[in-house]
Amino acid sequence: MAERTYRFVIRLARAGFAAFGLRIDVRGAEHLPRSGGAVLASNHVSSPDFLFVGLVGRERGRYVRFLSKHGVFLPPVVGDAMRAMRHIEVDRAHGEVALRHAVAAVRAGEVVGVFPEATISHSWELRPFRPGAAAVATWCQVPLVPVAVWGSQRIGRSGRGGRFGLRRGTPVTIVVGEPLRPAPDADPYAVTEQLRAGVAALLGQAMDAYPEQPRDDADRWWLPRSRGGTAPTVEEGLRIDEEGMQKADLAAERRAQRSRRRSRATARQPRRR
């Protein structure tokens, strides 16, 4: 059931890519093993990043089980599809539960996909990495494969008032690096720093290889300040990111409260005989 649903979603995604003429360039996919557990760790610049990072798995005949925030699982159809594909739900208040599921998946020979920044970076530069991806790879003694995706920010939400930057033929470049193989006694925080440095190098390669430049000054929004763009600075981006995460956490708590109220109301209803 999981792979059948996944194959259907991939066909839909590829049809969408073709309809918009997206020019997708995947480099270095051979660094992902064809079998056995592994962790893919990527930067995060847009909502559809999981679709593009997932293509790395398909290049190697693998299906990637992504860690994804709780809110993605809430809409009925989308949530059902996410669960059917065995993606892993992350509740920020109980992150250890998601880690346990990730460890179980990797030990079962699956590829788990992680965005260690934990949210989209609005500066397009790397945010601080959380240690979960490195911890899973260290505990399970599996390859930790760094990935950088670039260009997808022109397709997903750009942070410019919710507008989209998509135009036909937009390129997306995905670069995969050599895996890290942490020792059993490695410090996950030290491994995380190595991972972040690796992803940063790959992101630079992806930007250098990207086949387009902004058409004019108004189109420079999708470049970071370090590349002459008009995206928020790293500091501004971090503030925007944190505000967004706080709003998401508040919304999740409100949903949880509504769910608890409904459960209590149901429990108080008299049972029919």
CA distance 231 to 126: 13
Query: In the predicted model, is pLDDT for residue 77 greater than 50?
Result: yes
Query: In the predicted model, is pLDDT for residue 167 greater than 80?
Result: no
Beta carbons within 10 angstroms of residue 261's beta carbon = 10
Domain that holds residue 186: 2-209
**Is residue 138 in some structural domain?**
yes
8 Å CB contact between 132 and 99: yes
Q: Which of 97, 101, 189 is nearest to 138 (CA)?
A: 189
Query: In the predicted model, is pLDDT for residue 252 greater than 90?
Result: no
- When divided into structural domains, the chain yields a total of 1
Q: What pTM value is reported for the model?
A: 0.85
One-letter amino acid of 132: G
Buried b (16+ CB within 10 A) or exposed e, 131-164: bbbbbbbbbbebbbbbbbbbbbbbbbbbbeeeee
**Is residue 231 in some structural domain?**
no
Residue 187 pLDDT: 98
**Contacts with 69 (C-beta within 8 Å, 6 or more apart), sequence order:** 89, 90, 92, 248
Q: Indicate left, alpha or beta for 169 from its phi (over 0: left) and psi (-120 to 50: alpha).
A: left
Digit-coded pLDDT (tens) for 3-15? 889 999 999 999 9
One-letter amino acid of 99: L
196 φ/ψ angles, rounded to the nearest 5 degrees: -60, -40
Query: In the predicted model, is pLDDT for residue 96 greater than 90?
Result: no
CA distance 178 to 143: 9
DSSP string covering 163-184, please? Answer: -B---TT-EEEEEE-PPB---T
Query: In the predicted model, is pLDDT for residue 263 greater than 80?
Result: no
Which has the minimum average pLDDT: 37-46, 222-231, 242-251?
Answer: 242-251
**pLDDT tier for residue 244 given thresholds of 50, 70 and 90:** confident
Mean pLDDT of 244-266: 68
**Is residue 220 in some structural domain?**
no
Query: In the predicted model, is pLDDT for residue 165 greater than 60?
Result: no
Residue 162 pLDDT: 47
Can you give the CATH number for the domain in which 116 is found? 3.40.1130.10
**Is residue 229 in some structural domain?**
no
Query: In the predicted model, is pLDDT for residue 161 greater than 60?
Result: no
Mean pLDDT of 101-116: 97
Residue 243 pLDDT: 78
- Give alpha helix (H) positions in the chain: 2-19, 49-59, 76-84, 95-107, 132-140, 188-209, 234-268
Which tokens hold the place of 100?
A: 């346990």
**Is residue 98 in some structural domain?**
yes
8 Å CB contact between 40 and 67: no
Digit-coded pLDDT (tens) for 55-76? 999 999 999 999 998 888 888 8
**Contacts with 100 (C-beta within 8 Å, 6 or more apart), sequence order:** none
**Is residue 154 in some structural domain?**
yes
**Is residue 222 in some structural domain?**
no
Query: In the predicted model, is pLDDT for residue 124 greater than 60?
Result: yes
CA angle (176 as vertex; 101, 120 as ends), nearest 5? 60
**Is residue 266 in some structural domain?**
no
Grouping H, G, I as helix, E, B as strand and the rest as coil, residue 268 is helix
